[in-house]
Amino acid sequence: MVVTVAAVVALHASLAGAENGAGAAGPRTITVNGTGIVTSVPNQADFTFGVSTNGSSATAALTANAKQMTNVIGVLKALGIGDRNIQTAQISLSPNTNQAGTTVINYTATNSVTARTKNIATSGKIIDGVVRAGANLVGGPSLTPSDQQTLSRRALKAAIADARVRAGVIAAAAHVKLGRVRSVTEASSGPITSSPVANKSFATTPVQAGTVQTEADVTVTFDIA
């Protein structure tokens, strides 16, 4: 994992120290924005796998669906995904009518599960396996690191360090000395983005791990000593 500091985030600095009308000096401060980005390789993938079936009756649609979904879940377990990482996401049953909406033609049953693998290298094999088992709805993957909380804290530390460097540059340019931290405000973290890594395709259906970025943004106000 590599910690990087974004150089493109807008910087706002203010030097306050003008005397007011009564002649009293207010606090002299420097306020800057800092950004920290931690780049890591994801080690888990989340998918949604579903089965949609039609039947002449509601019971027939559900029965056919249950059979195919049981096969899909069985394949997920056979490929190493444990019970705790397989969760039912949605079950639905709805009638299909003619264009006028006056007659029920048949019924559609849908069942979907979310599944998480801790081995991204098996993702392609998992996708192919569940499709062969009867899954006709596939969503994902969502590729994330399992230690997201640790990465967020590292990004925050990097953001504070970035803010201190920026404030130091401003202080030096203004020929003043940087003092203690007066306040710190954490902004909303940016989205986790993915980028591909070459030569990391797996199985029949290629899945690339790439990298993800965890971002933290802070606004820090320093006193001028």
Per DSSP, the residues of 138-163 read EEEEEEE-TTHHHHHHHHHHHHHHHH
Domain that holds residue 109: 44-142
Please tell me the predicted confidence (pLDDT) of residue 212: 84
Please tell me the predicted confidence (pLDDT) of residue 190: 52
Please tell me the predicted confidence (pLDDT) of residue 192: 65
Residues 77 and 137 in one domain: yes
Q: What is the mean pLDDT of residues 101-126?
A: 94
Residues 52 and 116 in one domain: yes
Please tell me the predicted confidence (pLDDT) of residue 28: 92
Residues 173 and 94 in one domain: no
Q: What is the CATH number of the domain that holds 111?
A: 3.30.70.2970
Give the chain's mean pLDDT: 84
Q: What is the mean pLDDT of residues 192-216?
A: 66
Total number of residues shown for the chain: 225
| 154-186 pLDDT, tens digit each | 999 999 999 999 999 999 999 999 999 999 999
Please tell me the predicted confidence (pLDDT) of residue 196: 53
pLDDT at 137 over 60: yes
Token pair of 55 as six digits: 């039947």
Confidence of residue 132 (pLDDT cuts 50, 70, 90): very high
pTM score of the predicted model: 0.69
Q: What is the CATH number of the domain that holds 23?
A: 3.30.110.170
End-of-domain residue from the set 142, 172, 198? 142
* Domain count along the chain: 2
Residues 56 and 93 in one domain: yes
Please tell me the predicted confidence (pLDDT) of residue 52: 97
Residues 71 and 123 in one domain: yes
Whole-Å CA distances, 155 to 1, 89, 147, 162, 163: 11, 32, 13, 10, 12
Please tell me the predicted confidence (pLDDT) of residue 205: 73
